[in-house]
Structure 1
Amino acid sequence: MIRCLVVDDEPLAQNLLKNYIGKIGSLELAGATSDVFAALDMAQQQKVDLIFLDVQMPELTGIQFMKILAGKCKVILTTAYEEYALQAFDLDVVDYLLKPFSFERFAAAVQKARERLQPLQRENNTAEHLFIKTEYKIVRVAVKDIRYMESMRDYVSVYTENERILTLQSLRTFEEQLRTSSLIRVHKSYIVNLDRIDKVERRRIVIGDKYIPIGETYQDEVKKRLQQGNGSL
């Protein structure tokens, strides 16, 4: 979880950022303020990981703020002015968001921050978590909670114990992320969680009341993975 702080003297800008942060499951809002000195104090005490910082602030500019901060936490600058970009990147800013910016642009900046804050996160997420992009938000889902995924024409359904999540991401995208996890591609239209399999019969996997076919091209790999877990096929 990435703890975020919004520092902006415009209430509308604060509200937009709080709304965007709320849509990404890996972000936690630690606060929103126009008080740059309170924000510096939080950052220096390492109470936050990432600051969304306006450049034009009444008491300190975002550039001055970053110089005082001296790399204590990561910063994404949010501003309507382009002219500070060169200085900002010299100070190792994660990203530079020009107002007004879309949620998609915001999410891309967050991804950069995630990579900077947790260099091994992609590798860890392969085994433990997925970030699934839905129509309105990005959802963090634990791999252990996923029962199976099903490709249905233009979208993929991700079935967990309690819900069905729809995404336009492809099964191939998930397959590439999950090579070291308990999830495995068993058919051109299915990925299943090996830990959720109830039984295997007649080239079909049974998870609860769902019967999932095993594609011919996937049989050897499925057999290998099941044997590693003392199963049989």
Structure 2
Amino acid sequence: MIRCLAVDDEVYASDIIASFISKTPFLELVGTTTNAFEALAMVQEHKVDLIFLDIQMPELTGIQFLKICGDKCRVILTTAYPEYALDGFDLNVVDYLLKPISYERFYKAAQKAQQIISPSQYEVVPAPNQINDFIFVKGDTKNKFIKVNYNEILYIEGLKNYVSVYTESQRIVTYQALRELETQLPQPPFYRLHKSYIISLEKIKMIDGNALYIGDQSIPIGDTYREEFFKIVREKK
């Protein structure tokens, strides 16, 4: 098992990485932290084989961390800023994950790390989310779960601790946080483009300014997600 640490100054971001680690058979989560100095101490004590490291952190950036850490453990960078990729690879990182991170992309990076850290134990295994094309969401009673095929989902709307999953034939309301559901969906085709919405890229009918249309439904594009979303759109042209 590869001992992993998730380091990010945003708890939400480190929680997503932690959930991905727990899904991956050859990875073991030893902790999460928002404090880069705490992470350095764990590296010095040889408690970590692999760190998923954010770049933009207060007090000590990810690049500064790498320079101090040296070759004491392997690092996969996680960031919303692609301009740091070259610096990261110059410092011999395993991989560079651009937020928002899909599990499929995470798994490929983890496999790279496995090849480096435990080459004798390396075996190509398909990522769990590549095996299934559906998800189970919680129903309105205990132990009730509803199967939803990915290709039927139009978009998902979050409101506090409730989520509405809109399909081609129905609306399913489930008691679940949007960010929790986001970690379970393959990206692509699903994409978070607003704090309250996840959409299927395959179902977009039209994009008009700061909104897109799925069927007759208008969905806003959030300021935080706009640049990355239109980058994806331009790549599809």
TM-score by length of 1: 0.54
Q: How does 1:36-185 map to 2 (within 5 A)?
A: 36-122=36-122, 131=125, 133-135=127-129
Find the residue that maps to 1:58 and give its secondary structure.
coil
Q: Please tell me whether the aligned partners of residues 36 and 65 of structure 2 are also in contact (alpha carbons under 8 angstroms).
A: yes
Q: Please tell me whether the aligned partners of residues 24 and 137 of structure 1 are also in contact (alpha carbons under 8 angstroms).
A: no
Gaps of 5+ in 2: 133-237
CA displacement at 1:24 relative to structure 2:
0.5
Change (3 A) 1:135 1:53: closer
**Whole-angstrom CA distance in 2 between matches of 1:77 and 1:59:** 17
Q: Please tell me whether the aligned partners of residues 6 and 17 of structure 2 are also in contact (alpha carbons under 8 angstroms).
A: yes
CA displacement at 1:132 relative to structure 2:
5.5
What is the letter of the counterpart of residue 134 of structure 1?
Answer: P
Is 2:20 the counterpart of 1:12? Answer: no
Q: Could you say what the CA RMSD is over the residues aligned between the two structures, in angstroms?
A: 1.9
Q: Deviations over 1:99-134 (max 9, x none)?
A: 001100000000000011012223xx5xxxx84643
TM-score by length of 2: 0.53
Q: Please tell me whether the aligned partners of residues 3 and 48 of structure 1 are also in contact (alpha carbons under 8 angstroms).
A: yes
What is the letter of the counterpart of residue 24 of structure 1?
Answer: T
Change (3 A) 1:23 1:136: farther
What is the letter of the counterpart of residue 44 of structure 2?
Answer: Q
Change (3 A) 1:73 1:133: same
CA displacement at 1:6 relative to structure 2:
0.5
Q: Deviations over 1:45-85 (max 9, x none)?
A: 11010000000000111000000001100000000001111
CA displacement at 1:25 relative to structure 2:
1.4
Structure showing greater radius of gyration is 1
Gaps of 5+ in 1: 139-233
Residues paired across the two proteins, number: 132
**Whole-angstrom CA distance in 2 between matches of 1:80 and 1:61:** 14
Find the residue that maps to 1:114 and give its secondary structure.
helix
Is 2:15 the counterpart of 1:21? Answer: no
What is the letter of the counterpart of residue 18 of structure 1?
Answer: A
Q: Deviations over 1:1-47 (max 9, x none)?
A: 01100100111101111111111111111000011111001012110
